[in-house]
Chains A and B, each alone.
Chain A
């Protein structure tokens, strides 16, 4: 019995020791290396801050008004549409949705789009981007990113083992820079970035954050280089319906020789002002899309059925009303045109210099004319615009996003005097922002 007791005591001790040892972290590295260097995220940080300080939120890009009634009705109809609406649908895209997308976009792209071969439905445009990078970018591939860029492109390139190479849009020399159209890409500079390792170029038009809408000639210049060097083109066009002042959105995939090498990405969330539905898509030649489908089926597999059904109904409606005043694709940009003007005048009214966007959800403003004493020593190693935005949230209750977040580490200091506002908001939100700005400038002028 003594031996048994002794053994039992030993076992208990061994168990205690082993429990104690692993109650701290595991002795080996736990995480996969692909998660290194991609763990910081500007949205997580600033969304939290805006919520904490209950700031008037012109930061993250989502409408604070409701989606159009026809689309929410379509969703409710789908929800009450019988059991199949609540079960898995076709993995690469709900048939009703891919068919309505193919029908709608074929006439815009000028190419007969096969709904089942040439389209992949994803959880937002974000996941379409992920599938593109994972499917098509390998270790050692270089990807050219035009700056400023929607921040997720860079970590996605890194996670795919690729290397990001940056080309900035630059304000035209010699003229006053008043519009996003005054920021241009140098053909020579772009060409100089292409190497034998270059696999793809990523463009975003209309651009986030600048609002630039690439003209046909600019896209042709990019297309020529893609064809000459046999590159792929990832074209993020989530804001495609939001162009102002007569600017025309052109799809690079519609240029000669480009359908075969372009992945065009779109968003139901941005199209129908329902960002929380997370329905997006990638469109392109089947021989490229099939690789993205493999990634999709090994990561997510299916997207939510009812939301896809609703977006399909939305596109059916828009197909009927295309080009008419009842089309949401006419009404939304017309409404946002006024919001854009309103925000611009509030900013100018307090001495700031906004850059008028030709398209999209956002407006950037040069803040270099404002001198602020940041008493916050915690942020002293951060870029000026980051510090400014945090100060603006905490001290003035107004949330925006620092524009250097949309630049590569090598260029971010050159562009750290701009902040980004989202104007896709109710008038009341823009009024509240205007109040804050007025009060602030009155305080300044009274010193």
Chain B
């Protein structure tokens, strides 16, 4: 885990031993830096576009119904788990039991936590593909297990780069599986690169999971944000994978309401029931009116699947335009964008600028990664916030990723244009 992070954000806690291995996420510190209102924030991953009005209306309506303001079923509000069962039953092409094969959680984040706490423990190893959503490592550690990293590698010799140019080396991946491997975490579309794992890549991962009898935790929160020409494949639909996969989704990312913090885990009963045990001993139930509103949003869009108004596809179309606009702006500024196949983040290679960052050196760390220094410079001098990509990788991969920063493009056009000026 990144040494410079320890030094930058020394928030190590020693009270309970499990806390020795957790630490404040860099985002907490960068959030305050970027909170200056004169800074254009393309860092943290949340929309500043409004959510669809029907979900907001559904929420306001729910609050006016007495029963909707009180506790609902712990493992998921019945209308919501039924809606999830319908939508995903259609997507997976198999029946999904709403009460036994679905768990509603506090965001995709909460699903990740329930999965780790329910299925991972001391002595286990968990394979994590770099770059990774930064919470995977502290969660694996908090569960007492050891993270094992494998980086996505860049195909060489290409001029204009897309997220598809990163690949997993089959032999390297295979070498990471040991008798202690409990699970592999995959994230597709990937945050921060935006790579969508192909069917072949997923099959390769599946073959290894089956061969080594491991679980697969598939973080698919950006599943609907797939751009033209791409296809999102669910690893749980590959032969032999349903029984060993937890698939994670997010209402926040699906409906552009990250502040609702609702997500879900879908999988076979013999796995989900352990996540349910964690749920009933951690927060017991999620907010009712929010679940009711998401249920309605899902059912509405279920009817619209295949039509242009369906939010599952219309949001991706809207974002593709923003993606391309941002790529153009980045290029004009002399940097190299990595065009993402999915998700709402874009990696930007800043090395062409050859920016002198000598006055960004901090007192306590000469070895601070380039991207950290660059982002601080950019916030200070250019009033633009981004996230350094080495925050998403382990120490051994820092040098491969320190020329990249991550920008978020699910922003209103005004925000994107502000930066241009």
Contact = CB atoms under 8 A, between A and B. Distances in A.
Interface of A: 15, 18-19, 22-23, 25-28, 30-35, 38-39, 41, 43-44, 47, 60, 62-67, 72, 75-76, 79-80, 82-89, 91, 122-124, 126-127, 130, 134-139, 152, 155-156, 159-160, 273-278, 290-291, 294-295, 297-307
Contacts of B67: 64
A80 B118 CA distance: 37
A70 B244 CA distance: 48
Given A67-B69, A79-B56, A86-B256, A26 B290 contact: no
Nearest to A39: B277
B118 A31 contact: yes
B259 A85 contact: yes
B71 A62 contact: yes
A22 B210 contact: yes
| 10 A-B pairs with least C-beta separation | A276-B288, A305-B259, A32-B121, A127-B283, A62-B70, A31-B274, A66-B66, A87-B46, A87-B259, A35-B277
A291 B71 contact: no
Contacts of B22: 294-295, 298
Given A32-B120, A76-B60, A66 B16 contact: no
Contacts, number: 229
A274 B69 contact: yes
Contact of A18 (B47, B135, B211): B211
Interface in B239-284: 239-240, 243-244, 256-262, 270-271, 273-274, 277-278, 280-284
A85 to B, nearest CB: 7
13 contacts: A18-B211, A22-B213, A25-B243, A31-B274, A83-B50, A127-B282, A135-B13, A152-B284, A276-B68, A295-B22, A301-B107, A304-B260, A306-B259
Given A23-B240, A298-B113, A300-B110, 17 more contacts: A18-B240, A26-B243, A28-B213, A76-B60, A80-B56, A83-B49, A136-B15, A138-B15, A276-B69, A276-B288, A278-B287, A294-B22, A298-B142, A299-B142, A299-B282, A301-B107, A304-B290
Interface string B88-125: 00000000000000000011011001000111110000
Interface of B: 11, 13, 15-19, 22-25, 28, 44, 46-51, 56, 59-60, 63-64, 66-74, 106-107, 109-110, 113, 117-121, 135, 138-139, 142-143, 210-211, 213, 215, 239-240, 243-244, 256-262, 270-271, 273-274, 277-278, 280-290
Nearest to A124: B283
A437 B50 CA distance: 53
Contacts of A18: 210-211, 240
B259 A135 contact: no
Contact of B287 (A22, A23, A277, A290): A277
Given A80-B56, A87-B48, A276-B69, A44 B74 contact: yes
A86 B240 contact: no
B414 to A, nearest CB: 12
Residue with the greatest number of chain B CB neighbours at <10 A, chosen from A290, A291, A294: A294
Contact of B261 (A26, A38, A44, A303): A303
B284 A126 contact: yes
A329 B22 CA distance: 39
Given A298-B113, A298-B139, A300-B113, A88 B44 contact: yes
Nearest to A426: B66
Contacts of A34: 117, 121
Contacts of B273: 39
